[in-house]
Amino acid sequence: MDDHELLIRHAVAWADKRRQPLDRDLLETVLQLRDFHDASAPQEWPEGSAEHLMLVRWPSHGPSGVPDVDALVATLDSFWRFLRGTGRMARASAEPRALTKEARRAAVQMPEACQDPARRSASKTLMEFGESIGLTLDGAESVEEVNARLQQIMHAWNDLPDDQRMTLMPGSAHHGSVPGVAATDLVSSLLDDEADEDDDPWGLADENGMIPFADLAEVAADVRDAPFVHQCRRLVEWVGKGREITYKDVLRLAPAREAYDVLRLAAWERADSSLVLGGDLLDSPPEVEELWAAASRDSFRSAADCRALDRLWVPCLGAGLLELSRSRAYGTWDEPGSDEEWRHRGVMLAGSVLINLPPTHVAPVMGALMHLLDPGRESVPLRELEEWWWQSPRNAFAHLGQGEGEAMVRGWSDQAMHRALHEMDDLRVWRREGDLLRPTAFGHDVALLAASLAEQGMIEE
DSSP state of 215: P
pLDDT tens-digit profile of 175-191?
444 444 434 444 444 44
Q: What are the residue ranges of helices labelled H in 245-338?
A: 253-262, 266-277, 286-299, 307-318
What is residue 208's predicted lDDT score, i.e. its pLDDT?
45
The pLDDT of residue 366 is above 60 = yes
What is residue 295's predicted lDDT score, i.e. its pLDDT?
64
Window from 46-55, 278-287, 373-382, 442-451 with minimum mean pLDDT: 278-287
User: What percent of the chain clears pLDDT 70, i.e. is strictly above it?
Assistant: 75
pLDDT tens-digit profile of 24-50?
999 999 998 888 777 778 999 999 999
10 Å Cβ neighbour count for 141? 7
pLDDT tens-digit profile of 42-80?
999 999 999 999 998 898 888 888 999 999 999 999 999
pLDDT tens-digit profile of 125-148?
767 777 778 877 666 666 566 666
Q: Are 371 and 388 in contact (CB under 8 A)?
A: yes
Give the residue-averaged pLDDT of 403-428: 86
- List CB contacts of 275: < 8 A, sequence separation 6 or more: 415, 418, 419, 422
What is residue 227's predicted lDDT score, i.e. its pLDDT?
96
108 pLDDT band, cuts 50/70/90, is very high
Q: At what angle do helices 5-17 and 24-38 cross, to 10 degrees?
A: 140
Report the distance separating Cα 441 and Cα 426, nearest Å.
14
What is residue 368's predicted lDDT score, i.e. its pLDDT?
92
Pairing assessment for the beta strands 243-244 and 328-331 based on DSSP bridges: antiparallel
More confident residue, 41 or 197: 41
The pLDDT of residue 91 is above 70 = yes
